């Protein structure tokens, strides 16, 4: 597949990361194309998951691959949660920041596949956490929202730097168009 140079991972500070993604009514070829591009981008960046808002598309699509197979899901929804598990998580949109996040250990999930067919999954452990992380993105929620006050203080400078770098990029691209 050809690399899409326009496809970039959105970094903390980008408002799209805080928007609630829209559910997809009719699954069409364009969605399959975006899901493939997302899977490729996730792979290139050595990620285990990616949500559409992370590439600037505010629609309910995620890809997940922890090494045991690729999931491409549309409108994913958690239908059952059980137990709890605390893992240190990173996020491709917040480079350099790791946060311990407490999530459900086991989940049941419903979604549509890339052709609009209903899917039902059970997941536990790391896979369950990655699904929950990506579904959080669809609700505009980020790992930093789970940080304790102490952690927030620790990462505040890093976040400010990411935000500033993003603002500078925006200014630069505006200047290029000027
Ligand atoms: Zn993330």
> What are the pLDDT digits (tens) for 115-163?
999 999 999 999 999 999 999 999 999 999 999 999 999 999 999 999 8
Ligand 1 centre and the CA of 94: distance in Å? 7
* Residue 77 annotated among the catalytic residues of the structure: no
Span from the CA of 177 to the centroid of ligand 1 (angstroms): 30
pLDDT tens digits for range 56-88: 999 999 999 999 999 999 999 999 999 999 999
| Cα dihedral 104, 12, 145, 72 in deg (nearest 10) | -20
Instruction: Express each pLDDT in 151-163 by its tens digit.
Output: 999 999 999 999 8
pTM: 0.91
Output the CA 168–ligand 1 centroid distance in Å.
22
**Contact assessment for residue 16 and residue 10, using Cβ atoms and an 8 Å cutoff:** yes
Of residues 20 and 172, more confidence is placed in: 20
Q: Give the largest CA-CA distance in the chain.
A: 54
Catalytic one among 3, 30, 134, 168?
134
Backbone angles phi, psi at 137, to 5 degrees: -55, -35
The dihedral of CA 155, 42, 111, 55: what is its sign?
positive
Map out the domains of the chain with their CATH numbers.
15-177 (3.90.45.10)
């Amino acid at each position: 597949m050809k690399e899409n140079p326009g496809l970039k991972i959105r970094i903390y500070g980008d408002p799209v990361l805080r928007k609630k993604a829209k559910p997809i009514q009719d699954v069409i070829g364009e969605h399959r194309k975006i899901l493939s591009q997302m899977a490729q981008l996730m792979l290139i960046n050595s990620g285990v998951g990616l949500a559409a808002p992370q590439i600037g598309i505010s629609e309910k699509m995620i890809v997940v691959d922890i090494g045991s197979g690729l999931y491409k899901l549309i409108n994913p929804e958690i239908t059952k949660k059980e137990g709890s598990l605390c893992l240190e998580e990173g996020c491709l949109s917040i480079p350099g920041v790791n946060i311990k996040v407490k999530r459900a250990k086991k989940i049941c999930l419903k979604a549509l596949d890339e052709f609009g067919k209903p899917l039902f999954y059970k997941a536990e452990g790391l896979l369950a956490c990655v699904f929950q992380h990506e579904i959080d993105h669809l609700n505009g929620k980020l790992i930093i929202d789970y940080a304790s006050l102490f952690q927030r203080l620790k990462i505040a400078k890093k976040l400010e730097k990411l935000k500033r770098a993003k603002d500078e990029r925006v200014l630069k691209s505006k200047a290029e168009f000027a």
